[in-house]
Each structure stands twice: as structure tokens, then as C-alpha cells.
Amino acid sequence: MLRLISGFILALVLCLGCAKEEGTPTESGEAKAEKLRIAVIPKGTTHEFWKSIHAGAIKASRELDVEVIWKGPLKEDDREQQINVVQGFIATGVDGIVLAPLDAAALVRPVRDATKAGIPVVLIDSGLEAEAGTDYVSFVATDNYEGGALGARRLGELLDGKGNVILLRYQEGSASTDKRETGFLDTLKKEFPDINILSDNQYAGATTETGMQAAQRLLGQFSDIQGFYAPNESSTFGALRALEEDGRAGKVKFVGFDSSEKLVDAMRAGEINGLTLQNPFKMGYLGVKTMVAHLKGEPVEPRIDTGVVMVTPDNMDDPEVKSVLLPDLSEYLEGE
């Protein structure tokens, strides 16, 4: 009888041990099945440009089965808020950060802090005064200098190489638009030396309203204007509204950057003569894909060019151009 009881106890212990061992792989499998968490931090969250980046990031997250956490400042001039968002993700912990830094200098320290904490960073849209491969993994963006050069060539051709032009800059500290502005000015001076630049030192600021006010001041200051250039969505729309209110929309040749439904309508109406178009959807998509590849130990390029094209009334209805000019984002952003 004692042997029988002892045998029963031994069998019970062995069964419990087997059950525990069988449960361990399941628990381990559940741990492995946890999704990578990628924070995507834009410069702002209101303009159409950032909505396209958000949609691209979501597409990548669905394909790769990772979690994207979208969070950023409301306005594109709120440096402190963006810094706080980065620091918040460092504190709470994510697997990686995809960041569009709104200031090339101010975001260097937070990015380095993330890297030191073991959280890799991929930059999108705008660069940093930092080193790829050391401070951050990769930079996924437009060739912004070339984008500015395209704008200069379009405006120069529209003016037959002569006339008075205004450049309304975007915002100090924005690396992407600074390169566009430099590309615009360099190309205009080199390829169209007879064009006179009336103003190139005024800033639109982060919103359509501040852009409109800045453009109104310039239009009030200069009456003899043949051409106008703006380097991003908000400055372009602000300048458009100022030209409309001043009665010079369609009379002054106007080239802008980025797109929205209102800007496309203005092009159809003859009030905008060219829009330099990036691919923000692709930027968000490749930003997340690049981060996931890095986290899996795959090699990634330190610089990834997402492309740029000049859109005019002549090519705006081409299927390839139209898909980027006015993308349907509802598939990705509904419920977000």
C-alpha cells in the first residue's frame, strides 16, 4: 500500500513537471508574439502632408504586423512639445522612434538621449545636425535642395527669365525648407541671372494664418511683382490667400510646394502655376519599414530619397501624378 501511494505521488509530481514544461513554450511564444512598438512623431498633426505620412506609416504597420503610435505637436513651431513627446517615449519605452524633427538643432539632444537609451531613431522629412549611423539610423526624405531647384526652374521659365520675384521662407530651424529655399535661390541666380529677387528674408511661420499675414506685408511693400515662391504647404496656402485678397491671384506667377485639395483647386483655377510635390505617404511608409528592418538586424541605407516632381496644370491629371497629388487616405486613417 505504501509503495502504491509513493508511486502515485511520484507520478503526480512528474505530471505537474510535464505540464509546466509544456506551458513554457506557450508562454515564450506569447512573449515572442508581442508586436514591435514604433513611435512616429511628426512636426505637426494638422496639415494634409502629415496625414499622408500617418497613412503611410499605418500601411507599413499592417504589412509588418507592428504597432505604430502616432503622436506629435499640434503646430509645427512647438519645439518644446515635440521634445517632450520624444522624452516621453524614452521614459515609457518603445522599440524605435520615427521622427520628423521640427528644429535641426533643438532635437539633437533628445535624439541622442533616445539612442543612448537603446531606442534607435529614423529621421523623416527633415534632417538633424547629427551623424547617421551614430546618432540616428537613417534619414528618409525628399532631396529638398533639388525640390527648391525645380521650383526655381518652373518660375524662371514662366517668367521667360526676367522679372521681380519674392521668396517667402517658412520657418527658422526647419532643415527641409531651408534646403528648398537655398536650392531655389542658388538655381534662380545661376540659371536666371536677369530675375531680380525683391525679398528673401521674410518668414511665413508655422500656420496658414501667419503665412498669409507675412505675404500680405510683402505684397503691400512691393507693387511690381511678377513671381512668388513658397516652400511648403502652409506658406503656399497662406500666400495664395494673400494674393487672392489682393486681387493678384492668377496675375502673379506662383509656384508652391506640397499639395492639398485647396491648392489643387487653385491650380485648376489658374492661380497656382506649379507645385513641387514630394511623396509623404512613401516617407511614412519607408520610415517605419526602415526602422523595422534595423530592429531585425538587417542593413539599411543611411539616406533614402523618396523622390520629388514638379506638378503643373499640364500634368496634374496624369494617373501617376494624381495618385500622389490627391491620395485617398481613407483606407488607412478611418477610425484613427
pLDDT of residue 297: 98
pLDDT of the residue at 31: 46
Does 148 share its domain with 248?
A: yes
What is the distance between the alpha carbons of residues 123 and 108, in angstroms, rounded to a whole number?
11
CATH number of residue 115's parent domain: 3.40.50.2300
Say how many domains are in the chain.
2
Whole-angstrom Cα distance, residue 66 to residue 38?
Answer: 7
Residue 315 has a pLDDT of: 97
This prediction has a pTM of 0.85
User: Quick one: pLDDT at residue 276?
Assistant: 98
Q: Which domain holds residue 299?
A: 37-142+280-305
* Residue with grid cell 517632450, as numbered in its chain: 84
Supply the pLDDT for residue 5. 38
Q: Are residues 131 and 198 in the same domain?
A: no
The answer to whether position 326 is within a domain reads: no
SS3 per residue for 204-241 = CCCCHHHHHHHHHHHHHHCCCCCEEECCCHHHHHHHHH
Looking at residue 334, its pLDDT comes to 84
User: Are 51 and 162 within one domain?
Assistant: no
Return the amino acid letter for 5: I
pLDDT, residue 7, reads 45
- Given this model, what pLDDT does residue 145 score? 98
Backbone φ, ψ for residue 160 (5° rounding): 55, 35
Which residues of the chain are modeled with pLDDT < 70?
1-33
